[in-house]
């Protein structure tokens, strides 16, 4: 084998590996973006407020599920309907975040960097599960087949829903 052939094979291997990595990253881009946003929030604001945010996701979902006026939210066009539902949920998350931040969560909480990344991922997965099963996202955005496999089945919703709580139980001290 000549040096030129060796370099060509290395080039083919590097290109194939880079394309495979890019394909996997682009399939999970939405997860990576949400993970990054939650991680940066936890890193800059602190662990206590991050835990308050994760708990606010649960409290807001409970109130969102029991909200009697969702029938008054717009249903068409699909983008307006999606923003109305997400806006209602985001408003409830914000309200519960303020309440939980003032009342419940301590700043003397320890979560290591690995735990912070894991909890950010579980929070992102929680939000994606809500997008699949609660909010009318399917009419606006079509997720990749890899994401569909993980989040679309109804039987997985419970596990993605409970994952941040289990993560908090084991990772927060």
**Rounded distance between C-alpha atoms, residue 20 and residue 14, angstroms:** 10
pLDDT in tens, 102-159: 877 666 678 889 999 999 999 999 998 998 888 878 778 788 888 888 888 888 889 9
* CA distances (Å), origin 68, targets 1, 17, 72, 73, 75: 73, 51, 9, 11, 16
Q: Angle at which helices 113-133 and 29-45 pack, to 10 degrees?
A: 130
**Rounded distance between C-alpha atoms, residue 18 and residue 31, angstroms:** 20
Can you give the pTM of this predicted structure? Answer: 0.77
pLDDT in tens, 44-71: 988 888 989 999 999 999 999 888 888 8
Q: Are 39 and 120 in contact (CB under 8 A)?
A: yes
């Amino acid at each position: 084998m000549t040096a030129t052939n060796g370099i060509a094979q290395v080039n083919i291997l590097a290109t194939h590996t880079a394309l495979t990595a890019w394909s996997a990253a682009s399939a999970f881009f939405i997860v990576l973006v949400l993970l990054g946003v939650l991680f940066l929030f936890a890193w800059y604001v602190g662990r206590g407020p991050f835990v308050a945010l994760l708990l606010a996701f649960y409290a807001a979902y409970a109130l969102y599920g029991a909200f009697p006026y969702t029938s008054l939210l717009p249903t068409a066009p699909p983008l307006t309907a999606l923003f109305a539902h997400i806006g209602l949920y985001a408003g409830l998350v914000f309200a519960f975040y303020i309440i939980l931040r003032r009342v419940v969560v301590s700043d003397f909480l320890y979560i290591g960097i690995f735990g912070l990344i894991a909890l950010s991922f579980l929070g992102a997965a929680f939000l994606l599960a809500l997008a699949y099963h609660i909010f009318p996202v399917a009419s606006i955005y079509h997720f990749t087949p890899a994401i569909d496999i993980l989040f679309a089945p109804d039987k997985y919703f419970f596990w993605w829903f409970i994952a941040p709580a289990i993560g908090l139980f084991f990772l927060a001290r």
